[in-house]
């Protein structure tokens, strides 16, 4: 068996470690240093330069790790945006990119900004909802999507853009014999996004089962204290008829706002 003393003496005898000369050498940057020449021919270099090189190597490694982490984060963000259901034409929308032409628009935009900032609060979002009512082309989807992108990009959150008809379709499909997901799984999934946007709330033609499922989505989110943004071309009375009093109650609960986009279409 080889013991430590033997290893020591083996190393000591190795040409790599046998000193044959020691003298003073000159570094262009750091001046004089003690240089050792070994029997193997190896010559020690300026210790300051070596130390700086090592520090540089550590800094380079840290920078590379940071780049990798940033890369991973941007890939994750792309993935989250890809899975968010946000229509392509709305990607890149921001709240600051929303053009304000009237005081009414400023009120809506300020409310949207306050709502968006709530996702950054230490305790998280209060779960209160926003309802955007108004004609097509007034920027309802723009503002809602801008909030969703803020949640994904700046708050490490998840967001999903959907419509009543998509929820109804998924619920219908869940009842088929070869369904990939059960109704409960779908409701749970919709109930868990940090932000859910439900677009195209119109005069409902859903079955009773679909209306129940839609209520379950809203109610699950309410229980989970997750906020929902509802978008509709209907006026408030029509919306109440379409969604029912119980969902309207959830939308108004705890500081929920019903905002009218009562201006002309940007697209006209």
Instruction: Write out the residues near Zn ion by the rule CB under 5 A.
Output: 27, 29-30, 46, 48-49
DSSP the chain: ---HHHHHHHHHHSGGG-EEEEEEEEETTTEEEEEEEETTS-B---HHHHHHHHHHHHHHHHHHHHHHHHHHHHHHHHHHHHTTT--GGGTT--STTSPP-SHHHHHHHHHHHHHHHGGGSTT------EEEEE-TTSSHHHHHHHHHHHHHHHSS--EEEEEHHHHHHHHHHHTSTT-SS-HHHHHHHHHHSSEEEEE---S----HHHHHHHHHHHHHHHHTT--EEEEESS-HHHHHHHH-HHHHHHHHGGG-EEEEE-S--TT-
Query: For residues 31 and 92, which CB has a smaller minimum distance to Zn ion in the complex?
Result: 31
* Paired residues of 228 in beta bridges: 196
Query: For residues 37 and 252, which CB has a smaller minimum distance to Zn ion in the complex?
Result: 37
Query: For residues 9 and 36, which CB has a smaller minimum distance to Zn ion in the complex?
Result: 36
CB of 22 to Zn ion, least distance (A): 18
CB of 29 to Zn ion, least distance (A): 4
Cβ atoms of residues 97 and 82 within 8 Å: no
Query: For residues 29 and 96, which CB has a smaller minimum distance to Zn ion in the complex?
Result: 29
Query: For residues 30 and 246, which CB has a smaller minimum distance to Zn ion in the complex?
Result: 30
Nearest to 214 by CA among 169, 179, 164: 164
CB of 57 to Zn ion, least distance (A): 16
Query: For residues 29 and 176, which CB has a smaller minimum distance to Zn ion in the complex?
Result: 29
Query: For residues 30 and 120, which CB has a smaller minimum distance to Zn ion in the complex?
Result: 30
CB of 121 to Zn ion, least distance (A): 52
CB of 157 to Zn ion, least distance (A): 50
CB of 226 to Zn ion, least distance (A): 60
CB of 53 to Zn ion, least distance (A): 10
């Amino acid at each position: 068996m080889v013991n430590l003393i033997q290893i020591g003496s083996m190393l000591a005898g190795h040409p790599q470690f046998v000193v044959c000369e020691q003298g003073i050498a000159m570094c262009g940057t750091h001046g004089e240093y003690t240089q050792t020449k070994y029997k193997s021919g190896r010559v020690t270099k300026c210790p300051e330069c070596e130390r700086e090189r090592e520090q540089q190597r550590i800094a380079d490694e840290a920078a590379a790790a940071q780049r990798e982490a940033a890369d991973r984060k941007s890939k994750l963000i792309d993935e989250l945006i890809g899975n968010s259901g946000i229509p392509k034409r709305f990607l890149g929308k921001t709240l600051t990119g929303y053009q304000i032409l009237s005081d009414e628009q400023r009120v809506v935009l300020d409310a949207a900004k306050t709502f968006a900032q709530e996702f950054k609060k230490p305790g998280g979002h209060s779960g209160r909802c926003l309802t955007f009512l108004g004609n097509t082309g007034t920027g309802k989807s723009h503002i809602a999507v801008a909030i969703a992108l803020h949640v994904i990009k700046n708050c490490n959150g998840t967001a999903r853009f959907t419509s009543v008809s998509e929820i109804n379709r998924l619920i219908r499909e869940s009842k088929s014999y070869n369904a990939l997901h059960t109704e409960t799984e779908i409701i749970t999934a919709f109930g868990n996004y940090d932000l859910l946007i439900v677009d195209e709330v119109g005069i409902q033609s859903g079955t009773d089962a679909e209306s129940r499922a839609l209520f379950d989505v809203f109610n699950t989110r309410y229980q989970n204290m997750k906020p929902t943004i509802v978008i509709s071309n209907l006026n408030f009375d029509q919306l109440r008829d379409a969604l029912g009093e119980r969902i309207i109650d959830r939308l108004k609960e705890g500081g929920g706002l019903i905002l009218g986009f009562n201006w002309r279409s940007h697209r006209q």
